[in-house]
Structure 1
Amino acid sequence: MDRKKINPTLKLVLEMGPIVVFFVAYLKLREKLFVIGGTEYEGFILVTAGFIPLMILSSAILYKLTGHLSKMQVATLVLVVIFGGLSVWLNDDRFFKMKPTMIYLLFAGALGVGLLRGQSYLKYVMEEMLPLQDEGWLVLTRRLTAFFFILAVLNELIWRTQTTDTWVYFKTFGLSAAIFVFFMTQGKVFQTYAIPEDHPAEAEDL
C-alpha cells in the first residue's frame, strides 16, 4: 500500500491521543480500587487495560489513513500489548512500567547493530524528514543509540525508586521532552551534514 499524506494535526492526535487519554484517566482513577471477578484492581491496572485497545485502534486508523506504520511504531505497539497485557493478566503494574525500558533498549540495540555493520538504520526511518550525508547519519545514530540507552536506565531508576505518580508524569512528559530536547541540541549536526538543495543527484544516491 502506498503511503498517503494526512493532516498533521490528525496524525499528531492519533499518535499522542492514547498517551493523553492514559494520563487523564490515571489522574481520575489512581486512588480507586475496582473488584472484578472477586479480584481487586488498582486504577492504574484498569487504565492500562484501556490503553492497550486504544493504542491498537489508533495505530490501525493511522495505517488505514497513511498506508504505513514505521518499524518503531510497530515495535512500540507490540511491546505495549505484551507488557501491558502481562500487567493486566497478572495484576502487576511492574510489567507496564518496564515497557519504556524494553522499547529504548530495543531501539538502542537495533541502531547499535547497524553501527557495527557500518550502517545507520536511523537513516531508513527518518531520511524523508532529515536529508543528511551518510557521515551525518552515523554521527546522529551513535548519539541517539547512547541517548536511548540512557533513557532505558533512567526509566528503570524512576519506576523502581519513585512513586507511580512520579513515573506516570515522567513517562507522559519527561520522556517526550527529553527526546525533543535531544533533537533540538543536534542543530550542529544538521547544519554540518545537510545535503545542499542544489545537489539533488547526491540526495537521490544517499
Structure 2
Amino acid sequence: MAEARKINPLLKSVLEFGPVVIFFIAYLRLKEQVFTIGGTEYDGFIVVTAAFIPLLIASTGALWALTGHISRMQVATLVLVVIFGGLSVWLNDARFFKMKPTMIYLLFGGLLAVGLLRGQSYLKFVMEEVMPLRDAGWMILTKRLMWCFFALAVLNEVIWRNMSEEAWVYFKTFGLSAAVFIFFMAQGKLFQAYSVERSDPDQRGD
C-alpha cells in the first residue's frame, strides 16, 4: 500500500474535524426552526443532517485526494453516516442519525472482538506505526478498547433515548471524542510496560 502523502497539519485537521464542528454550529443556529421543503416540514436537526452528509463526503474525498490515503475507520464512518443520515432525511426521522454512533462503535468493537477470537489484534494493523508495542501489549489494549467501544455504544443509546436532542448533540460532538481520548491517556502504564524499547519482557500493564 502506498504511503500517505504529507499535507499541512492544520488543513488535515480542518478536513477531518471541520464537518463535525460545522454540524454543531449549524445545529445551534437552526435547532428551533422549521423548514417547509416540497410541502413537507423538516426541523433544523434534519436540515443540518442533510447538509452534513455531502459535506462529510466532500471533506473525506478531499483528504483522500490530497494524501492518497484514508483509513478503514474513516471509510466505515462515512458509509454509516450516509446510510443512517440518509434514512433520517428520507423518513424525516432524527432517530436514525442518532443511532449512527451506536452502529459505528458496535462495528469497531465487533471487529476487534473477531480479531481477539482469532488470536490477533486488528488494532495493531492500524496503529502499530504510531504506538510500537509488543504483541502481548497489543492484545491487552485491543481487549480494553473493544469494551470501551461497546460501552460507548450503550452510552449513546441511553443518552439519545432518555435526554434532549441538544444534550445528545453536545455528547456526540464533544463527549464521544473526549471519552476515546481519556481512554488512551489512561493506558499510560500499559504503553510503558509493553513498549518495544523496554528490556523487561515480563512486565505487564494489565
- Partner letter of residue 125 of structure 1? V
- Partner letter of residue 106 of structure 1? L
TM-score normalised by the chain length of structure 2 = 0.94
Aligned to 2:182: 181
- Partner letter of residue 15 of structure 1? E
Q: Does 1:128 align with 2:129?
A: yes
The verdict on how the C-alpha distance between 1:197 and 1:146 changes in structure 2, with shifts beyond 3 A counting, is closer
The verdict on how the C-alpha distance between 1:38 and 1:54 changes in structure 2, with shifts beyond 3 A counting, is same
Secondary structure of the structure 1 residue equivalent to 2:131: coil
Supply the distance in 2 between the matched residues of 1:134 and 1:64 (Cα, whole angstroms). Answer: 34
Matched-pair identity in % = 70
TM-score normalised by the chain length of structure 1 = 0.94
Q: Does 1:29 align with 2:30?
A: yes
Secondary structure of the structure 2 residue equivalent to 1:60: helix
* Map 1:41-120 → 2, pairs under 5 A: 41-120=42-121
Shift of 1:89: 0.3
Secondary structure of the structure 1 residue equivalent to 2:130: coil
Aligned to 1:38: 39
Secondary structure of the structure 1 residue equivalent to 2:119: coil
Q: How many residues align?
A: 198
* Greater mean deviation of Cα atoms: 143-152 or 9-18: 9-18
Following TM superposition, the consecutive aligned residue runs of length 4 or more in structure 1 with deviations greater than 6 angstroms are: none
Aligned to 2:173: 172
CA-based RMSD of the aligned residues comes to 1.1
Supply the distance in 1 between the matched residues of 2:16 and 2:134 (Cα, whole angstroms). Answer: 29
Supply the distance in 1 between the matched residues of 2:106 and 2:123 (Cα, whole angstroms). Answer: 15
In the alignment, structure 1 segments of 5+ residues that lack a partner are: 199-206
Shift of 1:152: 0.0
Supply the distance in 2 between the matched residues of 1:69 and 1:197 (Cα, whole angstroms). Answer: 32
